[in-house]
Structure 1
Amino acid sequence: MMMACEVLKFLFLQFLILNFVCCCIGFDPKDKYYINCGSSADVAVGSITYIADKSSSRFLSTPEDILAHTSSNSIASSDDSVLFRTARIFTKPSRYTFPLRQSGRHWIRLRFYPFLYQNLDMKSANFSVFSSHKKTRLLSDFSPQNGTVKEYLLNVTSGIMVITFSPSRNSFAYVNSVEVVSAPDSLITDDASLFNPIMAYSGLVDQALETVVRVNMGGPFVSLVNDTLGRSWVPDWSFLLHPNLATNASNIGGVRYPGGGATQDIAPPTVYGTCTKMNSQSDPNSNFNVTWNFGVDAGFQYLIRLHFCDIVSKGANQLVFDVYIGEFLVDRDLELSSVSQGSLATAYFKDFVTPLMDKDSLSVSIGPSKLSYYPDALLNGLEVMKISRKGSFSIGASSLTAFLRSKKKLVMIVGVSVGVTFVSLIVVGVLVFMRRRKKKQEVSHSKIWIHIPVDGGASHSHTMDSNLSYCIPFAVVEEATNSFDEGRVIGVGGFGKVYEGVLGDGTKLAVKRGNPSSPQGLAEFRTEIEMLSRFRHRHLVSLLGYCDEKNEMILVYEYMENGTLKSHLYGSNLPSLGWKERLQICIGAARGLHYLHTGYTKAVIHRDVKSANILLDENLMAKVADFGLSKTGPDINQTHVSTAVKGSFGYLDPEYFRRQQLTEKSDVYSFGVVMFEVVCARPVIVPSLPREMVNLGEWAIKWQKKGELDQIIDHRLVGRIKPNSLRKYGETAEKCLAEFGVDRPSMGDVLWNLEYALQLQEAVVRDDPEESSSNNIHEISPHFNDVDTSNSFGQFERSSGDDLSDASVSKVFSQLIRSEGR
């Protein structure tokens, strides 16, 4: 008995030492404001000093100075309970203003405890709270009935933070303490996964978040004193759905933190060192889930952060288990040793973002995998954070009722997004919710329409709405295409047929329907959704929605009136493009690719750049399309991505083909081929031509190196290009086609050179709408005279099995043509 007591004392001492170490190291905030509101004296909570409200009056602007306090013993004892004994009361709008030394992530923590003060029952308070960060509404018609801590995490870009308390009519507001403290920017990354549908979620770093709950599984309460970032973690027992199915384990001293990923700022050892696991009771046939249930507000999305640390496995029999959020299997066969390079007891976390919630509860479950050697599963910690919606963490009663009713009605809503440069129309639908069969370990499909505006001219958008695509009902797509009428087919690609869709209000859509027998199936479908919902740019085609009902894979895009660049160069009866128009189209496409390569944490490599994937709107503005083969680029410490070769013949980077090492320079090579295609107006591969002319890239480079590119240009451009403009253009294309990627320019350099080539052209032909000049390239184009240019390129098209060559492709959208050798 004595020995057991000594062991317990030792473990308790170890726990205290670890807590002390945890609170002494970690992130050092540049901004740290701790205000003890309504108090005349400073108070210390652990190592933090909360400044008395009177001495901090330089931060406060209020018409009345009302300080309240209580001596009641009803306040529960805790590390921060002293902060609940005083309060600042506001009868009119009042604000705290904090100058910030550093932009980036900041905590805002507000404490509220209603007590009786001079016959004023603070439970009757009703008020709203606003943050100056994007005018975010933190609280709306708030009336705390017990001790409450509200915590927010905002990505602040200005040098000041203003928190405003606004009483409701005939009421008042109050607050017990206010904190504004810097947080590590690395705390929130863009590595989250959206489920239903499953795809990467982008833009999380810019979202405002509110903490709903922070749970320490299988362990004790962790207070702000024992957390490097001043957070509190509550035990999980009250959230367990069936406590008898769970048991606890602890090994705080064994926790390891990897070189990258989880740190003590992500969660302390007191969280990673304890867990709740399956209570399998040595039964190898155990088959159940451990489930926790949490209350949430409908009408919002939530960030779910799951903390794992395998502190129970020993030897080779390591944990493999499944993770569910609600009814969705979000991580199948999770093996913690594999994500931590074989090390046990290594801290690891994973982020998920929910769709818009249509109910007020959220569950998280863990259970055995079919690959488990022994049925077991664990979870060490969990955080649920609400993502602000339209600048608010509150949704009005009428709005909430409308949102819930929309789940039961079929309504068509037309959303209009007006930009500085152009107006985009997007159709939003809300569908009938029908009971559907649900199978365990299958991801069901949400029937909520989620608004995603077409970019109104800005380079990109990181708002919540711009990061999600529509999940469009099959019935709506079917009606828009007249039940996929063959008369509405405007093209055929490797993925399937493309239909012209028309909504009831006349809005046109391009509907790409996957062919079940096509080799380009689910992987490309998911990639296209992931990529186009991640990025918003005026020179990238906009994905309006998708449909995956009835085993269909359907993508819906904005309609591009002028089809593909390719159809304007050859193989159709469309009017010829002038040189200035061609330059502007190349510049637009280069801007889109440059954004893909540089506009995000990791570059995105298109992998299928070609003239058939450059689309033109009604103003001939270019937009890059077809992201089915796109690939996320290498990490900062890597030079390339090793991957199987994919692309289109004639455009494929030879270095990528030889070494199977993909970089952004592979896109640059393909774009160089497009540039020669634009100026020569012929297919990139023509097997029927003499051997030296079959491959456009190789043929054009020979003439460019001789300084005689003007000899092979499109006969319709002869006499219409200023020599200096063509020279700069040809030099740029030549550099793009360098044998080794390291010798090729970046897309940013290509873009600069193209704009310069346009300036050289405009310097001479600025006032000539026909782009003609008496001082331009001579009229001779002998190497095109070797073939009958009046109709031969239509023959090339047909012989190579490339595009549909008739005039019906004049209004074609996206990949409307068969992929070239993909």
Structure 2
Amino acid sequence: MMGDCRGFHFLIWVASVLCFVCFCSCQFDPADNYLIDCGSRTNTTVGNRVFVADNSASKFLSTPQNVVANISESVTSSNDSQLYQTARIFTGSSKYTFSISGRGRHWIRLYFYPFVYQSYNMSRAKFSVSTNDHVLLSNFSVSSNVFKEFSVNVTSDSLDVIFSPSNNSFAFINALEVVSVPDQLITDDASSISPPGKYQGLVFQTFETVHRVNMGGPLVTPENDTLWRTWVPDQSFLVNRNLAKSVSNIPAVKYVQGGATKESAPNTVYGTATRMNSDDDPNANFNVTWEFDVDSGFQYLVRFHFCDIVSDGLNQLYFNVYIDSWIAVRDLDLSTYSTNTLAAAYYIDMVTVQTASSKLRISIGRSTLHDTYPDAILNGLEIMKMKNLQGSLGNSSSKKHVGVIVGVTIGVSVAALLAGILFMLCRKRRQLPQLGHSKAWIPVSINGGNSHTMGSKYSHGTTTSANSNSGYRFPFVAVQEATNNFDESWVIGIGGFGKVYKGELNDGTKVAVKRGNPRSQQGLAEFQTEIEMLSQFRHRHLVSLIGYCDEKNEMILIYEYMENGTLKGHLYGSGLPSLSWKQRLEICIGSARGLHYLHTGYAKAVIHRDVKSANILLDENFMAKVADFGLSKTGPEIDQTHVSTAVKGSFGYLDPEYFRRQQLTEKSDVYSFGVVLFEVLCARPVIDPTLPREMVNLAEWAMKWQNKGQLDQIIDPTLAGKIRPDSLRKFGETAEKCLADFGVDRPSMGDVLWNLEYALQLQEAVVHGDPDENSTNLIGELSPQIHNFSQVDTSVNAAAQSDVSAVDDISGVSMSRVFSQLVKSEGR
């Protein structure tokens, strides 16, 4: 019996050893593991990893000239990381070439710490970093220690990491890693939030890790991660810490087949979480929200790490997950993802839409589908920027400018043009060739083939002001000159059509130059349509096309440059200066004029279909111009009431009647504009899932206060006490009418324009005895001659239609002339 027991214990011991050996053998062993301490004379040990001295690794380096810098020879470092003590400085394009043993996904990790060495101040360095196929950093500069991590799918037997100084600058690097990653780390199992469905192509995608966060837990260092990653705590990203609490149960974590592995995230991540702080309130209704800085103009892979360490049993926890205003996962039950195992580690991948903001919000909140206690958790989060169509992850400079946001807006907005108007153009201009299916890049002349020469500031050509004629066909040399030969440091945005450069013409006019990419899906047909349409639709409140270039097989469009960005950026979220009430009214009036022109200034109405604050741009004088005609469509025929079409638009601004019936009219724009009016008044997002349920939808929330006659309770706090009651009342009534359930009950854009002009007059009117105002602004009764508004509207429309092709616009019909006759009237 004793022998049997000893034999049994021996078998247990053997089994334990075998399990241990199996576990160890299952740990990931990278086929390629290059760790280089650049500029160092000796190897450097960091944790359990050895970075080899750069001199012994110089066999990888090809460079025309470089300088080895050591921080100890120049200044005393306050940074204790040994990898930041030395650097290599490159004065010309240089590259490290690595032999690849195992093709597939690799980390490329770059360490930067700018210090002064001899005549090199590394904080002034500007450079790009790229691989054989992809741009990782473009026009990059740093002012403090920075770590950059990229995930690249290597498909060849070698990998180049190339450092290219910008202009007369230089490049530098402190340390470099090229390390194999398990191919299973990124698979094609992601979902797209818009359009909803499966997202394909992640396997060959290049990513930059923007954020890697351990929710509810401590800092996880590379030594405690099987893939040498750093996970930072989430506290600094929480929008409202009082709504969240941290929980921990690391021993409970289970890695099950079909779920996450330790390569996905360590148990320190899955075993901690941030949870709704519901305080045992069964009626609690809020979201826990995190806000992250991102680069606008890119899509992001967002990986949610989940592990139910808070429930006592299966199917107890249901909650919603949001990305910005989108519902990423509704009524999430982690039990269904974990093969009915409690506390099983799992992750969900979601791909965002192309971001227009520099902020990305992630939220979790209660589900209303099940009658359960309000609760929600998130264990970990990774946000990875995806390369764009040009194979670039650029725009990673540490400096941000408003112009970048404007450029992205123009570049993305105008790239997809007036698709619906193409039908009208084909009918009116049948002599134009049908080029929609052509793949060739051939010159296209709009002005009868005549090429107008733009004078060079370096030549004796004819000097021409862009403002003198907006229809110029620019020679390629003039465009090169305007963009400093397409200087990459002048790139302000990247859209589906190509890159957008900030430029300056020889007469000093600032422009946004969009250079088509021959590989883009948006080709010659759109190029021609864009020129045709924007050269005809001229209005001071529509973003203007200045010219184009079709030489040398190029497709280049040149637009006016909008200095002050988007209306949305000045309302919330970007830290830009707040606008006064008068400025806001004038911007609304300008936007209404632009939309009124679209609706009435041509033989058939043009319906914008994407009216929102992000598509209203502001010039240097804060004059508003409507942009982004990518969803626009021609209106109904004279004998029709609507256009039947698929529903398109932006969430929160979409006309509910259009959504229900799929019947589009100009009144759909009016509804969207009504939402913008409340957005202008309240200075908050139109959809904000972080707020209590009754406040999430701005239009619904504002209408409740409007119906109670207490709209003043929800205005932007910066406007408190600065809006005259009559002006606010008229503004609120106008927005209310725009949001009528049925289009037939909504005013026309002409009516909206009149009422906004009147709200401005009421704001500037003088209350009797107020010494601070000019008495000449007094508003009184309506003059009998203009009491019939419909007659005035008709005259305005007739004036607008009398000369559609004119560059001048109907806003030349001055509303102030009419309002100079007003006395004590509420208007309409």
TM-score by length of 1: 0.49
TM-score by length of 2: 0.49
